[in-house]
Amino acid sequence: SERAKQYLENLLPRPKKDFRMIYTTASAPAIELLEKLLTFDPERRFTVEDALACNFLSSLHDENDEPRADHPLNFDWEIGVSDQSRQTRIQLKKMMYEECRQHYHPTIPSWPEEDDREGGMGGDEHEQEEADKPE
């Protein structure tokens, strides 16, 4: 969306976080995978194929047992997100939860309505917002 582009263009550059300092018990291959997946530039970011072939996932990688989707994923739910002037973290969590439930895990329960006000699925929205504030 145009609003998202403007937001990104107005962000001030920030120094890169050292994931080794944040995830002190993670292995070097795990840190490398995380850094490559979270690369902002999509031309430099790992693809799914890159991620599956990396050292961290090498024991799980089997080209003969990695089916590809026959159609692109449907992200229509995002339209509601970008059309709103302000989405709360809990609303986004609820939409993602329901998307997963409807399409991939239909046996899990629906999002409890009372959690819309209380932070959602056992979380505390205020606590999350505090954790999301820049340092």
pLDDT, one tens digit per residue, over 4-45 is: 777 777 878 888 889 999 999 999 999 999 999 998 888 899
Distances (CA, A) of 125 to 46, 88, 89, 117: 31, 9, 7, 9
In a domain, 72, yes or no: no
Total domain count, the chain? 2
Q: Does 71 fall in a domain?
A: no
Residue 27 is assigned to a structural domain of this protein? yes
What is the per-residue pLDDT across 69-88, written as a single tens digit (0 to 9) for each?
Answer: 788 777 676 666 555 545 57
Question: What confidence score (pLDDT) does residue 18 get?
Answer: 93
N-term to C-term CA, the chain: 27
Q: Which of 63, 94, 116 is the last residue of a domain?
A: 63
Between 3 and 83, where is the model more confident? 3
Quick check: is 68 in a domain? no
Task: Check whether residue 89 and residue 59 sit in a common domain.
Answer: no
pLDDT given at position 27: 95
Residue 116: predicted pLDDT = 58
pLDDT digits (tens, 9 = 90+) for 52-72: 889 999 888 888 888 887 887
Q: For 31-35, which contacts have Cβ atoms below 8 Å and span 24 or more sequence positions? A: 32/56, 33/57
Helical residues (DSSP H) of the chain, grouped into ranges: 2-10, 19-22, 28-37, 48-53, 77-83, 89-103, 115-118, 125-132
Residues 58 and 84 in one domain: no
Which of 63, 92, 108 corresponds to the end of one domain?
63
Instruction: Kindly state whether residues 37 and 81 are assigned to the same domain.
Output: no
What does each C-alpha distance from 63 to 30, 34, 52, 118 come to in angstroms? Answer: 20, 21, 9, 44
Residue 70 within a domain: no
Give me 29's structure tokens: 């291959």
Query: In this structure, are 58 and 111 located in the same domain?
Result: no
When comparing pLDDT for 115 and 7, which is higher? 7
pTM above threshold 0.95: no
